[in-house]
Structure 1
Amino acid sequence: MQCTGGVDKEMDKEIPDSTNRLLQFTNCRLIRDHKYVYDDLWVRNGRIVNPEPVFFDEQVKADCQIDCGGNLIAPGYIDLQINGGYGVDFSFDTDTIEQGIDTVARGLVKSGVTSFCPTLVTSPVKTYHTILPRIPQSVPNGAGILGIHAEGPFINPQKKGAHSENCIQTIDEGLSTVERTYGSLDRIKIITLAPERVNDLEVIQQLTDRGITVALGHSMATLRDGERAAVRGATLITHLFNAMLPFHHRDPGLVGLLASDETPHTIYFGIIADGVHTHPAALRIAYRTHRLGLILVTDAISALGLEEGIHHIGQLPLQVKEGKAYIAGTSTLCGSIAPMDECVRIFQKATDCDPIYAIEAATLHPAKCLKIEKTKGTLDFGSDADFIILDDQLHVLSTWIAGKCVHQTAQ
């Protein structure tokens, strides 16, 4: 059977998926092992499969061949920090959170995002108890939900950014404070905290033992504070350069973790490459200093995909004007309105890095940070068939989740 659904057909036409079918994507380049591989991609039952046993053991042919027109197949983008989008704010729209997650998950696939962590900014305890149990596990035809990123409330009020100061807390009773605040840790994947706001850093180890990634951010921490937190299991820095002490040559603060020799493991760091939050020179410094840890995040807010005007981020009103988002009535930036595919292109241009690296900064690196690189952020055999088809300018042509086309750019 020959078919072309997936690159050059309208979205209202039937597009094949891999449920009980063997799909063969031809005339394409794959990103594998940090390089381009000229090979076909084979998909069945939502997974990427090795074609050799198909040929030699099963002796079957593909049910459907999809011509990719010489374009690039890459793993789907993974966004570890996104506050909302398309008019939805995850921390504010508590009464309609289910519909809100649905809207964002379906919208994100347009920019090539196949997995994400809905992010809750510093909020009242009641908000966590209301929202966390109601966030869906998955959304049909939408980006997958990896778990919640709780950005606060255990942050430093001196670096609160767009977070509501009257909701900020200190972890003064260890894990019981954390559990009391969130109500349950079952759905939480990442917690951003300021290490200097934690009375006993042993709580970081307790959280990582539960499979939660501990991120450092919105902080006045010194380098030594960051190193002590890393020794106890912290592995991520939240939006590098933003909401932390600026680099100083005598004490580089959390930024210094990129070059520290006192951390027992790789330190990852999110960075916002939206052309607003981080200067191109700062992007280059981060890239040249610690390439293995760099993760592109959008930090997108409800205004993603919307026109200029007044919106919300958590408890605070925000205003979008001249392509930037501010806390309403101030000059304080409060999140991005650039989609992930645009961030990848901006970063690649600013650093002049290999396009493969720019893509891996939004795929393989976040997957490694969350320790899910065997199934996400890769095109290796046995991994989830979450991938995107890109042109040479890194524009998204189509997005596939579990072997099903969930978005296709109109031709």
Structure 2
Amino acid sequence: MNDASKAHQIQGNILTPAGWIAGTIAFDERIAAIDGAAARPEDNGEDYILPGFIDLHVHGGAGRDVMEGGDAVHRIAAVHARHGTTSILATTMTAPPEDIDKALAAIGGAVRHRGKNEARVLGAHLEGPYINSGKLGAQPNYARAATLAEVQRLEALAPLRVITVAPEIAGHLSLVRALADEGMRVQIGHTLGSYEDGVTALEHGAAGFTHLFNAMSGLHHREPGMVGAALAHAEFAELIPDLLHVHPGAIKAALRAIPRLYCVTDSTSATGMPDGEYMLGRHTVQKCMGGVRLPDGTLAGSTLTLDQALRNLVGLGLDLADASARVSTHAADYLGLDDRGRLRTGAWADLVVLDRDLNLKAVYIEGERCDLNDA
């Protein structure tokens, strides 16, 4: 799309790293120019133009699950694109080795080729199997200890951008250091570890926490647990703001404590689908009244999309610029990407246009307008 005749130019309140600009943004695959003057959006009635959303924890959508392999990742990337998500990490479940291999092989293919109307698949989030079997949450019980050789074998199938590890498992601390040295973002999650385990893991190179508060040892004033380690020491952590997984008060506490807390959906195959039964890895889950649960009532991922996450954050009192960073910029920073998650000259043209009620009007992924009605 280097032909100038194919370039886009749109007008509105543009959220840039330097603040709001009322003006125009011109782009093809990348942003060519932003022209206008500093402004307060409340002083006009123009649309909002924000960085495209980035979701680092996506299991499914549109009735499809990442663990299926095949074309499932493409279908999942398409449904999330229709909700403003321009980049994702396809996320695996704890499963037998052959299931993980199949899923990662498909993710690797999706990384190499983005289909029309699909979010960019940046790589994989390996959520299991290197977790504590005593804190599975909705993960099937295929947890096991990790080895560096196995992780390197899996990395050959798809880029492992994020990997969730329970640090208290024997041998995992040395693995955390080795993986961090290789450039992976190692997250603490599905863990029974103590506050001290969390602090030690951070010292060994762990960089974040998987769905903060969920599937980890909780905060008590005499036993701060893994939640306490995150609140006291983390720069980054992911959180599910569907208002089911975490109470609004706990979300507000985390926002005050963790500078670059960012939001994920932990979305399942039930996302965008009617109530009923769906698959989450090898589990059958039930979608009902906006939630997804195992038969015993355990929350099993969500049906959240990041456009709704943005509205939820604003509803909790965040200003729009801060809420936007929580669904975009901080996730990009976590992965070390300076050309996504921000609207500046030279960055990828990943952006969303919202009306004054924060409803999506348009989504552009690497300069291409996404068909929001595409099935």
Residue 51 (structure 1) shift: 6.4
Q: Which residue of 1 aligns with 2:243?
A: 275
Deviation string 1:33-89 (CA, Å, 9 cap, x unpaired) is: 263112321213x1112469xxxxxxxxxxxxxxxx821111100000010111001
Cα distance change, pair 215–51 in 1 and its aligned pair in 2 (3 A):
closer
Q: Quick one: distance in 2 between partners of 1:34 and 1:169?
A: 46
Alignment counterpart, residue 225 of structure 1, candidates 197, 220, 224: 197
Q: Which residue of 2 aligns with 1:306?
A: 273
The count of corresponding residues between Structure 1 and Structure 2 is 361
Residue 107 (structure 1) shift: 1.2
Residue 346 (structure 1) shift: 1.1
The answer as to whether partners of 1:106 and 1:143 remain within 8 angstroms in 2 is yes
Indicate yes or no: 2:53 matched with 1:43.
no
Question: Percent of aligned pairs with the same residue?
Answer: 30
Q: Which residue of 2 aligns with 1:380?
A: 344
Indicate yes or no: 2:363 matched with 1:363.
no
Alignment counterpart, residue 53 of structure 2, candidates 77, 80, 86: 77
Indicate yes or no: 2:286 matched with 1:286.
no
Cα distance change, pair 100–384 in 1 and its aligned pair in 2 (3 A):
same
Cα distance change, pair 32–334 in 1 and its aligned pair in 2 (3 A):
same
Alignment counterpart, residue 395 of structure 1, candidates 346, 353, 359: 359
For the aligned residue pairs, the C-alpha RMSD in angstroms reads 2.0
Q: Quick one: distance in 1 between partners of 2:190 and 2:46?
A: 44
The answer as to whether partners of 1:302 and 1:312 remain within 8 angstroms in 2 is yes
Structure 2 SS opposite 1:332 = coil
Q: Quick one: distance in 1 between partners of 2:198 and 2:180?
A: 16
Q: Quick one: distance in 2 between partners of 1:257 and 1:243?
A: 14
User: How do residues 68-217 of structure 1 correspond to structure 2 at under 5 angstroms?
Assistant: 70-91=46-67, 93=68, 97-135=69-107, 136-137=110-111, 138-141=113-116, 142-165=118-141, 167-171=142-146, 174-179=147-152, 182=154, 184=156, 186-217=158-189
Deviation string 1:228-259 (CA, Å, 9 cap, x unpaired) is: 11112111100011001111112322222344
Residue 108 (structure 1) shift: 1.1
Structure 2 SS opposite 1:133 = helix
| Matched residue type, 2:145 | T
The answer as to whether partners of 2:165 and 2:187 remain within 8 angstroms in 1 is yes
| Matched residue type, 1:215 | Q
Deviation string 1:129-164 (CA, Å, 9 cap, x unpaired) is: 222123222322210001000101011111101111
Residue 23 (structure 1) shift: 3.5
The answer as to whether partners of 1:179 and 1:185 remain within 8 angstroms in 2 is no
Indicate yes or no: 2:304 matched with 1:338.
yes
**Mean Cα displacement is larger for which, 76-85 or 138-147?**
138-147
Residue 409 (structure 1) shift: 7.0
In structure 1, runs of 5+ residues without a counterpart are 1-16, 53-68
Larger radius of gyration: 1
| Matched residue type, 1:298 | T
In structure 2, runs of 5+ residues without a counterpart are 36-44
Residue 267 (structure 1) shift: 2.6
| TM-score, normalised relative to structure 2 | 0.91
Structure 2 SS opposite 1:220 = coil
User: How do residues 344-359 of structure 1 correspond to structure 2 at under 5 angstroms?
Assistant: 344-350=310-316, 352-359=317-324
| Matched residue type, 2:331 | P
